C-alpha cells in the first residue's frame, strides 16, 4: 500500500486511485465500469453482455441469443415453448401450467385453481373456502389449522410441530429438535454451523456465503456482486441471475458465498469502493470480508 494505492507484486491485481485491474487480462475496473478481456462478460455504464452470445443486458432488459429465455420491458418468455409471461400472466405452452388473471391450472388434470380454490383431480388434495384436506388421510387443514393423521405433522392455532421429534414451532419461532435448525425472534441459525441469520442478514460459518447491505460475494471466486456488478463461473451464470431477479424460479441454492469473522456483517455505504483486503490462507479469518480471487488468493 503506497499513498492509498495498493498492488500485488505477483501481477495478479493492482489498484490506483480507486481503479483496479488484473494484469493477466481477466478482470479490470475503471471508474465503476468493468470488463473481462477473455470475452466472457463486460460492463460499460451499467450495461453488461456476454460476448459468446448466450445472454446480454442492455438498459435493464436481458435476453439470450440461444433462444432459451428473454425479457423485454419486464416481460419474459421461453422461446422453446416451455414458459412465457406477458403482463403478469404465466403460461406453459406444453399444456402443463398456465396462469390467467392471477389464477393457474394444470391442463393434465392434476392441479387447478378457480377463484382461489384449489383441487387435485386424482383425489390427493383439495382446497375449498380456504380449507385443505388430503383424501389419503395424510394431512388436512380446517379453519387455518393443519394436522396429519399419521402423527408426523400437526398445527394448533397456527403453530405446528412434528410428533417424531424432528421439528416444532412455538409463537412464530421454529426449531429442529435434532439440533439442525432453530430461530429466535425471527432470526435463523443452524446449530451445526452451516447457516445463520442476524438482523435480517445471513451468513455461513464456513466462510462460503455472506451479504453486506444487499451486496454479496463468494470465496471460491465463482461470483460476487459489488455496487450492482456481478460475475460468475460460466456454468452458474443463468441460474444465479434467475435466483437474484426471480427468486421463485431458483432451482437450487446459490453456490458458495463468503462470510465475515464472527458472523456479523458490517454495512457498507453504497458509494464506497470495495474494501481491499490482505492475502490470507484459505478459510483463514481476517478483519475484512473473506474474498477469493480467481487465482485462489483468499483475503
Per-residue pLDDT of 229-285, as tens digits, reads 443 332 333 334 334 444 443 333 333 333 333 333 333 333 333 333 334 444 444
In sequence order, which ranges of 133-185 are alpha helices (DSSP H)? none
Q: What is the pLDDT of residues 132-187, one digit of tens each?
A: 444 433 444 444 445 444 444 444 444 444 444 444 444 444 444 433 444 444 44
Q: What is the pTM of this model?
A: 0.13
Instruction: Using the structure block, give the residue that is written with the C-alpha cell 455504464.
Output: 45
pLDDT of the residue at 197: 45
Give the integer Cα–Cα distance in Å for 261 and 285.
6
Give the integer Cα–Cα distance in Å for 199 and 25.
39
- Show the cell assigned to 195: 447457516
- As a 3-state breakdown, the chain gives helix, strand, coil percent values, each rounded to 5, of 5, 35, 55
- Show the cell assigned to 294: 480467481
Of 173, 150, 144, whose CA–CA distance to 162 is shortest? 150
Q: What is the pLDDT of residues 185-236, one digit of tens each?
A: 444 444 333 444 444 444 443 334 444 434 444 433 344 443 334 433 323 3
| Boundaries of every domain in the chain | 1-58, 195-299
- Show the cell assigned to 289: 470480508
Amino acid at each position: 500500500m503506497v499513498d492509498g494505492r495498493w498492488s500485488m507484486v505477483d501481477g495478479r491485481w493492482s489498484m490506483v486511485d480507486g481503479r483496479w485491474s488484473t494484469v493477466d487480462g481477466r478482470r479490470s475496473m475503471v471508474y465503476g465500469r468493468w470488463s473481462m478481456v477473455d470475452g466472457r462478460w463486460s460492463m460499460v455504464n451499467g450495461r453488461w453482455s456476454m460476448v459468446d452470445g448466450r445472454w446480454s443486458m442492455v438498459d435493464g432488459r436481458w435476453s439470450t441469443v440461444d433462444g432459451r429465455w428473454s425479457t423485454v420491458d419486464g416481460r419474459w418468455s421461453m422461446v422453446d415453448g416451455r414458459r412465457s409471461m406477458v403482463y403478469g400472466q404465466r403460461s406453459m405452452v406444453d399444456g402443463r401450467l398456465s396462469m390467467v388473471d392471477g389464477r393457474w391450472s394444470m391442463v393434465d388434470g392434476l392441479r387447478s385453481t378457480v377463484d382461489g380454490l384449489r383441487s387435485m383431480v386424482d383425489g390427493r388434495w383439495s382446497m375449498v373456502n380456504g380449507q385443505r384436506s388430503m383424501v389419503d388421510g395424510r394431512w388436512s387443514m380446517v379453519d387455518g389449522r393443519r394436522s396429519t393423521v399419521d402423527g408426523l405433522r400437526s398445527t394448533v392455532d397456527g403453530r405446528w410441530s412434528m410428533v417424531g421429534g424432528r421439528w416444532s414451532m412455538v409463537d412464530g419461532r421454529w426449531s429442529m429438535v435434532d439440533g439442525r435448525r432453530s430461530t429466535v425472534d425471527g432470526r435463523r441459525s443452524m446449530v451445526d454451523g452451516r447457516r445463520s441469520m442476524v438482523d435480517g442478514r445471513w451468513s455461513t460459518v464456513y466462510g462460503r456465503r455472506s451479504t453486506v447491505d444487499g451486496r454479496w460475494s463468494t470465496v471460491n471466486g465463482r461470483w460476487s456482486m459489488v455496487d450492482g456488478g456481478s460475475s460468475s463461473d460460466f456454468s452458474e451464470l443463468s441460474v444465479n441471475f434467475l435466483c437474484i431477479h426471480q427468486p421463485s424460479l431458483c432451482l437450487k441454492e446459490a453456490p458458495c458465498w463468503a462470510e465475515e469473522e464472527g458472523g456479523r456483517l458490517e454495512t457498507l455505504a453504497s458509494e464506497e469502493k470495495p474494501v481491499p483486503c490482505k492475502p490470507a490462507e484459505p478459510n483463514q479469518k481476517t478483519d475484512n470480508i473473506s474474498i477469493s480471487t480467481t487465482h485462489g488468493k483468499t483475503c
